[in-house]
Structure 1
Amino acid sequence: MSRFRIAAFVLMMSALGFLAGVAAGRLIELGQVDDKLAAHNSRLLAHAQRVAQESQRLIAAATHGAALCSDSDVATLRVLLFNATFVRDIGRIQDGLLACSAAWGAFEEGHPLPAPAFTLQNGIQLWVGAANIVDRRIVGDMAARDDVLVFTAPGAYDGFPEPGSGIDAKIVTRDGAHVLRRFGRTHDLELPPRGGPPANSLWSERRVAECAPEADADLCVVSRARSHAWFQLPAMILSATGALAAAFLAGLCVMWRLHANSAKTELRRAILGGDIQVHYQPLRQLATRRLAGFEALARWRSRSGRDVSPGLFVPLAEAMGLGRDLTRLVTSQALRDLHERLRANPALYVSINVSAADLKDAAYRSFLLDAVSEWGIPPASVALEVTEGSPLSDGHVLTMVKALRATGFKVFIDDFGTGHSNLNYLAEMQADAIKLDRRFTRAIGAEEAGTLIIDHVIGISRALRIGLIIEGIETEEQARYLLAREPAAVGQGWLFGRAAPVGDIAAD
C-alpha cells in the first residue's frame, strides 16, 4: 500500500468519522427534542383529562338538584362552582334555553343554546371555542348533558404549550374526528393511525401522539415540534471525536492490514484456526485397479481466494515451527473423514505425510494412538510417509520409526530416489513400502535413464521384500509399462483419480 493510498484512506476515514459524529450528534439532538415533546404531550394529556373529569363530575353532581333555577338550585350550583378549578360557570338548560347559571343567576328570559359542535359517546354535548351564551365577548368551551351546562374557564389551558417551546398541539377525540382544543399551527397536524410506523425517523419534524386509557375520557393529544439544528454542542463534540477516533482506527487498520497481508501471518492463522482443508487421492493396485488406500493431502486457500501449492506452504509452515501443528491437523481430519470406511474395510489404509519434526516429538506416538483409539481404527490402517531425507542418524528419529512400526502403524519412504538412498538407509528404516517419485514415472518412454532407475528401484523392492508404490501415473501407457515389470505394485496418479474432498472420493 503506497503512502498516497494510506494518506487517502486515513483522510477518508477521518471524514467518515466526522460525518458519523455529526449524525450521532443529530440523533442526540433529535432524541432530546423527542423526549421534550413526549413529556409535554403527556403533561397536556393529563391536564386535559383533569379538565374533562372535572366537567363530568360537576355535571353528575348538578343533575339531581332542587327545582330548576330556584334560589336553592342556584345556590347549589354556586357551591359547586366555588370548588371547581377549570370551570367558570354552571347553568341549567330548560326547553333548549339557558335558564340560569351560578354566575348570572336566574334569567327572566332564557338564552337559546346554539347547536353543539359534536356529541361524545357518553352523551355529553360539546361546544368548542364558542361565544358565551350570555355575553358574546367571552369565548370558551361548553359541555352539557341532560339539564346541566358547564362553561370551561378560558384560562383552563394556560401554560400550554410552554412558552418558547415551538410546540404545536391539539386535543382530539380518540377517533381523531373532532378537535377539542388547538395550540399553535395545527391545520395539518393529524392523529397518526393506530399501529402505523413511526413518522419521525430523521426528519426535522418530530411528532408524538398519546391517548387516554379506553375506560377514561375520550381524549387523545398529538403534538409536533421542529428541529433544524445540526451543529449543536453534542454534534460538535461527537464530530470532532469521531474524526479523531476514525483516523486512529484507520491507522490501526493500515498497520493490521500490512501485517496481516504477510503469508506467514495468514498461514499461521489458517493452521492454528483449523482452516486447512484435507483432500484424498486414491491409491490402486496396478493389477486389478482395486482401491488400496488414500493419501491425505493438505490444501490451503488464502483469504484472497487463491489456492496455494503445498510445495510452497508446507515448507513455510515447517520453517515457522508449525509443521507439527499442520501434521496433527491433517491427521485428525483424515481419521475423522475416513474412519467409517477404514473400519468397514481393514484392507484399506490412509497415508499421512510426517516431517522430521514430528519424528523428533516424543509425544507424537501418544497423539497417534489417541487419535486411532478415538475413531476405533486399527493402527495398521494408518501409513506414515517419511521423506527419504529424514535424518536417521538422529537416534530420536530412528527410535520413533521403530516404535511406530512396533505399535502397528505402517511406514513408507516417500519421494524415493530423490535423496541419498542406499541399501543401508532402507535396512535401518525397516519400511513397509517405498514410494517412487513422480519424476521417474514421467520419464517412461521419454528418457532411458529414468527407465533404468525404475527397473533398479523395482529390483530393490523385490530384494528387500517391501511394497512399492509408484506416483504420478497419468497415462495407460505408463500403467501398462509398470504392470509388466511389477504387477504387485500400487499406483497413484491422475489416471487412478485426482485428490478430492472426502465427499467426492471414489467409492471402491
Structure 2
Amino acid sequence: MIKRLSIVSASIALGCLASVAPVLTSIYIAEEDAERREQDDLREFAGKAVMRAELVSYQALAAIADMEATPGAPCSPAHIAQLARVIFNYRYVQDAGAYGGGEYLCSPLLGDVRAQHLTMPEPDRRSNDGFLIWYRHKSPLSNTRQDIQVGRNGNYVSIDSQSYVDLIDPARRPIAVFSSDTNALLALSTGADSADMVNAWQQAGNVSSDQWHYAIGRSATLPLAVVVKSPRRSLLGNWTGLLGMWLSIGVVVGGLFGWLSFRKISQQLSFPSTLEWAIASKRIDVCFQPIVRLADGECVGVEALVRWKLNGRNISPEIFVAVAEQNGLIQPLTDLVLDKTIDELSTLLRSRPSFYVSINVSGEDLQTRRFLDVLTARLRGTDIRPAQIRIELTERIFLDADTTRQTIAAFRNAGHPVYIDDFGTGYSSLSYLQTFKIDVLKIDKSFIDTIAQDAASSIVAPHIIRMAHELGVEILAEGVEHDAQVDYLVEKGVQYGQGWLFAKAMRSKELIAWLGEPRTQLEPMKQCDDR
C-alpha cells in the first residue's frame, strides 16, 4: 500500500513538474528577453536624447554665426533689433547679446548695460575654434535659473539648460547631459538625482543595481554625452500573475496589440523631433528640376525641390513638408533650401545672368516680410541678380488674399518674379487672380495629363491658358511627358515646360554636367530620385 502511494505520489509530482517546467522555462526566457529589450529601448532613448542635445547646441552655434554676420555698431538700436530677431528665429535661444572686456555690453533683454559694468565670469571651457562656454551660469536676468552660455568674438547666446533634456517621454526617464571633454554636468531633467547620474557617468554606465538600468549616449560631432536610466521590471516578481497571462491567449493578444500601438504612437511623436534635428544639422537635400523654353528646348532655369533620406529611405516631401508646417519648422526648412541653393548654384548663376532658380515659399512666410529680408541679406555680395531667384506660391494664398497681397508686391518690387504653383487644383479661386500681380502661372500636371483626351478635366488647361494670355502673364506647364503635349502647348502659346520628357530632378553637379553636354549622352545619369 505504501509503495503504491509512493508510486502515485511520484507520478503526480512528475506530472506537475512536466506541466510546470515549460511554463517556468518560458518565464525565465521571457525575463531574459524583457531585460534585453529594456536595455535596447534605453539605448535607443539615449540616442534620441543625444539628438536633442545636438539640436540645441547647433542652434546656439548657428545663432552666433548669424550675429557675427550682423552689420552695424555693437549696441546700436539697429544692432539690438537684429539680436531680437535672432532670439525670435531660434527656438532655444533665450537671450542674445554682446560682451567685451569681461563685461556684458547689451542685449534685447538686458538693454544697453555698458554703464553698469556687469562682470562676466571666466568661461568654463574654450574650444579650439574660439567658442567660450559657461556651464550652468547665472545671468544678470535671474538670481535662480542657471543657463548655458555660449560666446565668440564678442557675441553670446543664453540657452535654458532644460532645453537639453526636454524630451517627450511618457515614462519620464531621468536624463543628464555632460560635457564629454570636461566631464561637467550641463543639464539634469526634473526629479533626477545629480549624484547618481554623475556616478553613472564616471562608471561609463556600468552601474550594478537591482532597481535601475543605465545607458550612455555620445555625440559623434560635438563634445556632448548623455546618461539615461530606467527602472528594472522583474517578471518573476509576479510569477502567479504571469502564469495566468501565459494561460490566457486573450491577454497575450491584447498585450501584443497594446505594445504595437505604443510603438507606433512613439514613432509618430518622434518624427517632428527627428525632422527638426535634420533641418538644424542640414541633413535635408536640395535637387533641381530643369525648366525648358518650349519654342527651342533651351533650359532657362530650374526649380529647387527639397528631399530627405532618413535611415536609407526616401521620405516623401508631401509627408515631411506637412509635418514641418504643423510643427513650426517650415520657415527654417525654407531658409535651409535657400542657403543650399545659393551655395551650390552661385557659380552657375553668376556665369549665366539670365538663368534662374525658383524656390517654394509657404503661406506662413507670406504673412510678413521675414523671408524677403532673409533672401535680400543672403544675396548681398553674391553678384546674383534678384530676378535669378524666383518665388513659387500655391493657390492657398487666395484664402488670405488681403494679408498676402502686400508681401507678394514686396517680392516683385525687390526684383523677384512670382509664380503661382500647381495652378488649377483650386479651380474655384480663378477669379482671384485678376486682383494679384504675378509673373507666371504653373498649370498642374493633372491637367496637362488630360491634354487631347476626352476627360472632363481636359477643358481646364485651355481655359487657364486663355485666361493667362488675357491677364498678360507667362505660363509654365508641369509634368510634361510626351512630345504631343509639347506640340499642343506651343500651339496654344505656352512658353515654358517642366517634366520628365526633358529631365528629372537632379543634384547640382549632375545639373551642371547636363547643361554642358548633349542631353542624349546624359540619359543614364543618376537622378536625384525617381519620385
Deviations 1:109-129 (A, max 9, x none): xxxxxxxxxxxxxxxxxxxxx
Partner of 2:515: 507
Residue 335, structure 1, aligned to residue 363, structure 2: no
Aligned residues: 282
Instruction: Kindly report which structure 2 residues correspond to 1:429-440, keeping only aligned pairs within 5 A, or say none.
Output: 429-440=436-447
Aligned counterpart for 1:277 among listed residues 285, 295, 298: 285
Distance 1:432 1:265 in 2: 37
Cα shift at 1:469: 0.3
1:469 correspondence with 2:476: yes
Matched, 1:451 2:458: yes
Q: Secondary structure at the match of 2:306?
A: strand
Question: 2:213 matched to which residue of 1?
Answer: 247
Equivalents in 1 of 2:283, 2:205: separation in Å? 41
The one-letter code matched in structure 2 to 1:247 is H
CA contact 1:343–1:377 (8 Å) conserved in 2: yes
Which of 376, 386, 390 aligns to 2:383? It is 376
Alpha carbons 1:13, 1:246 under 8 Å: kept? no
Q: Which amino acid aligns with 2:378?
A: A
Q: Paired residue for 1:311? A: 318
Please list every run of 5 or more consecutive structure 2 residues that lacks an aligned counterpart in the other structure: 1-29, 43-202, 217-226, 232-262, 517-531
Q: What aligned pairs does 1:331-410 form with structure 2 within 5 A after superposition? A: 331-391=338-398, 393-410=400-417
Task: Give secondary structure in 2 for the equivalent of 1:473.
Answer: coil
Q: 1:434 touches 1:469 (CA, 8 Å); kept in 2?
A: yes
Within 2, Cα distance between the matches of 1:460 and 1:3?
71
- CA distance in 1 between counterparts of 2:477 and 2:204 reads 69
Structure 1 residues 478 and 391 mapped into 2: Cα distance closer, same or farther (>3 Å)? closer
Shift of the 313–4 alpha-carbon distance from structure 1 to 2, 3 Å rule, reads farther
Alignment CA distance shift 1:253-1:259 (3 Å): farther
Match of 1:298, SS?
strand
What is the SS of the residue equivalent to 1:296? Answer: strand
For residue 369 of structure 1, give the secondary structure of its aligned residue in structure 2.
Answer: helix
The 1:364/1:431 distance shift into structure 2, 3 A limit, reads: same
Aligned with 1:7 (options 23, 27, 35)? 35
1:293 and 1:239 mapped to 2: Cα distance?
Answer: 54
Shift of 1:450: 3.0
Which of 292, 307, 318 aligns to 1:299? It is: 307
C-alpha distance in structure 1 between counterparts of 2:406 and 2:417, whole Å: 15
CA distance in 2, matches of 1:455, 1:270: 42
* SS of alignment partner, residue 408 of structure 1: coil
Distance 1:366 1:325 in 2: 14
Call closer, same or farther: CA 1:12–1:478 in 2, change over 3 Å. Answer: closer
- SS state at 1:248 partner: strand
1:11, CA displacement in angstroms? 6.2
- Residues 367, 407 of structure 2: 8 Å contact kept: yes
* TM-score normalised to structure 2 length: 0.49
| Superposed CA offset, 1:268-289 (max 9, x none) | 1111221110000000011111
Aligned to 1:249, what secondary structure does the other structure show?
strand
When structure 1 is superposed on structure 2, of 291-300 and 413-422 the one drifting more is 413-422
Q: How does 1:133-172 map to 2 (within 5 A)?
A: none
Structure 1 residue 9 displacement after superposition: 3.1
Greater displacement, 407-416 / 355-364: 355-364
Report the TM-score when normalising by structure 1: 0.51
Partner Cα distance (1:295, 1:6) in 2: 51
Residue identity matched to 1:286: L
For residue 108 of structure 2, what is the aligned residue in structure 1?
Answer: none
Q: For the aligned residues, what is the CA RMSD?
A: 3.2
- C-alpha separation between the residues in 1 aligned to 2:205 and 2:447? 69
CA distance in 1, matches of 2:349, 2:205: 65
CA offset digits 1:72-128 (Å, max 9, x no partner):
xxxxxxxxxxxxxxxxxxxxxxxxxxxxxxxxxxxxxxxxxxxxxxxxxxxxxxxxx
Deviation at 1:262, TM superposition (A): 2.5
* Alpha-carbon distance between aligned partners in 2 of 1:270 and 1:507, rounded to the nearest angstrom: 30
| Letter matched to residue 414 of structure 1 | D
Amino acid at match of 1:242: V
Three-state SS of the structure 1 residue aligned to 2:348 is helix
Give the equivalent residue in structure 2 for 1:417: 424
Match of 1:482 among 477, 489, 501: 489
Q: 1:287 to 1:12 in 2, by over 3 A?
A: closer
| Deviation (angstroms), 1:465 | 1.0
Contact 1:388 1:419 in 2 (8 A): yes
Which whole-Å CA distance do the structure 1 matches of 2:204 and 2:428 have between them?
71
